[in-house]
Amino acid sequence: MGLTGSGRHAGGNPLADWPLQREIRALTTGRLCREELRRKCRAENGGFADWACEVCEEFLRPEAVSPWTWHLLFLHHLRKAGYPFRANDLSLEIWLLLGLLEREVEAAGGGKIAEKQI
């Protein structure tokens, strides 16, 4: 069963239960939580730092990013570097998700991903 599955999806959106767009936006806009930011949060929140990190909506922890999102980002980088993907090298679903990733990257900053964060 692929991403489209056989079940019904909320509002007809097959990605409604997968945070792909939120993760891509966090990666493309520099909203990925890094160690220096965690240190700052620990200093500011003291004993509540772990809780604050769990409920933070401003930044996304790297371990919270789906392995699928990291995989799509890897494929995106390969394409940008000129890897010669042919039409049938990837499934239709992956091509569609790469298209979604491309749109999010373009919308976030003219085609640049926050490289120093990744």
* Residuewise pLDDT in 10s, the chain (118 residues): 455 555 555 556 666 566 888 888 888 888 888 888 888 888 888 888 888 888 888 888 888 888 988 999 999 999 999 999 998 999 999 999 999 888 888 887 755 555 544 5
Q: Decide if 29 is inside a domain.
A: yes
Q: Is residue 5 part of a domain?
A: no
Give the separation between CA 116 and CA 118, rounded to whole angstroms: 6
Q: Hey, which residues does 60 pair with through a beta bridge?
A: 32
pTM: 0.68
Q: Please tell me the predicted confidence (pLDDT) of residue 85.
A: 94
Within a domain: 4: no
Domain hosting residue 53, numbered range: 19-117
C-alpha closest to that of 68 among 31, 23, 12: 23
Does a structural domain hold residue 45?
yes
91: in domain: yes
For residue 32, list its beta bridge partners: 60
Residue 14 covered by a domain: no
Phi, psi for 60 (deg, rounded to 5): -115, 125
User: How many structural domains is the chain composed of?
Assistant: 1
**Any domain includes 8:** no
